[in-house]
Amino acid sequence: MLSFFKDYKGFAIVFAGISLVIVLIIYNTLNVYKPLPIYQPAMVSTELVDSTIQHQKKYHKIADFKLINQNGRTITQNDYKDKIYVADFFFTTCQTICPIMTDHMAQIQKEIMNDNDIMLLSHTVTPEIDTVAQLKRYAQKKGVNDDKWNLVTGDKKQIYQLARKSYLAVKDHGNGDAFDMIHTENFMLIDKKRQIRGFYDGTNPEDIDKLLNDIEVLKAEKK
């Protein structure tokens, strides 16, 4: 019996080595890095996209903007240059989905507080109500960190164009006229090239977990 094992010792070593290689190949195949998609208007439901860009298949980026934050400071795309950020649309007097969304944004803020690569951007859809003073009160109530999270107001038409033509975020077709109202639960993940890399239900805790995970995926993509 002992001689039998001696005779097959070499074979056993080779077999064990091959088995290890196979296991590693399977493991690496199952854990292969999968980059996040780069969303184009043609990839998104036409309900969420302005008709002028619904068939665009490439080169889509968030447009330049100029808005005012909770401290009365002008915020532009330059404030988010070379940053990954999460964007949404809300209003401070909303009593339905917005409080849930804002609480989830606060949760994200907590998770990314010490990460200089990540920021947050919330656009009010009722700028006639959400003045700088109103946004400041709301920011203080919700624990907004001014270095991480801007709540912005400004020209209503610009905000509505951003929602439909840049962030591909809302179903309503309003263009920012006096009685228009857009309302969306979507959170958008934007990369450092101003591209949309993910859509998430801002009222769903599972989607928030996925968003946080996707932020890590996006960060790994840049390394």
Digit-coded pLDDT (tens) for 81-135: 999 999 999 999 999 999 999 999 999 999 999 999 999 999 999 999 999 999 9
Q: Of all residues in the chain, what percent are helix, strand and coil, respectively (each to 5)? A: 45, 15, 40
pLDDT over 90 at 39, yes or no = yes
Rounded distance between C-alpha atoms, residue 101 and residue 15, angstroms: 55
The pLDDT of residue 177: 53
183 is in an annotated binding site: yes
Specify the pTM.
0.83
Q: What SS3 class is residue 137?
A: helix
The pLDDT of residue 32: 59
- Pair type for strands 84-90 and 149-152: unpaired
Nearest to 208 by CA among 110, 127, 96, 74: 110
94 is in an annotated binding site: yes
Q: What pLDDT band is residue 28 in, cutting at 50, 70 and 90? A: very low
The pLDDT of residue 29: 44
Residue-averaged pLDDT of the chain: 87
Mean per-residue pLDDT for 5-15? 53
Rounded distance between C-alpha atoms, residue 202 and residue 187, angstroms: 6
Nearest to 39 by CA among 23, 20, 22, 53: 53
Nearest to 55 by CA among 141, 140, 160, 168: 168
Nearest to 215 by CA among 184, 190, 187: 190
173 is in an annotated binding site: no
